[in-house]
Structure 1
């Protein structure tokens, strides 16, 4: 979880160069910190967890929606190429629904 939180709090940081997280059997902890900002405290990390989890879920949702969109575009192209205008229209409506969903996820992630 610490790595997820740090990726959320410091998206431009390189986890191999700027900080290190390790687990010695007592739980994960920051073992090295090379960023110019102060190392976050356990309380700060705990407070950032819900936002980090929400951002990770939004990324997963966007990845899944993009895969669905790619598939619908392939189906649309196939329907148009075969002259199947009814299927093409139905697929185009699905594409619009997916694009609307993607925008909603992006807006919700931006507001969080």
Structure 2
């Protein structure tokens, strides 16, 4: 059941189910490209940056997933449930968390 907003590029639509399945579908046909179980409860909509799907989880992880293959590239723990969709500026990812914190994760620290 898809209950979170989607992220869209020219070629694909990306989404996540609350129970941790992240997926990509062709934007024109809806055909599944890939599906990955991140084994965490997803609480926010995914976002896209530099061919990476960015995702926040309720157990305090930010994940980077290859937008072409669905492979989990990295996982970074911030300590509290992610409550905002990840946004980027340059090589820095920003997320808000349930404890009221704003986290800035710089590219080389992931």
Query: Which of the five TM-score ranges fits, normalised by the shorter chain?
Result: under 0.3
User: TM-score normalised to the size of structure 1?
Assistant: 0.22
User: TM-score normalised to the size of structure 2?
Assistant: 0.23
Ranked by relative contact order (alpha carbons within 8 Å, sequence separation 6 or more), the top structure is 1
Bigger fraction of residues in helix? 1
Larger Rg computed on CA atoms:
1
Bigger fraction of residues in strand? 2
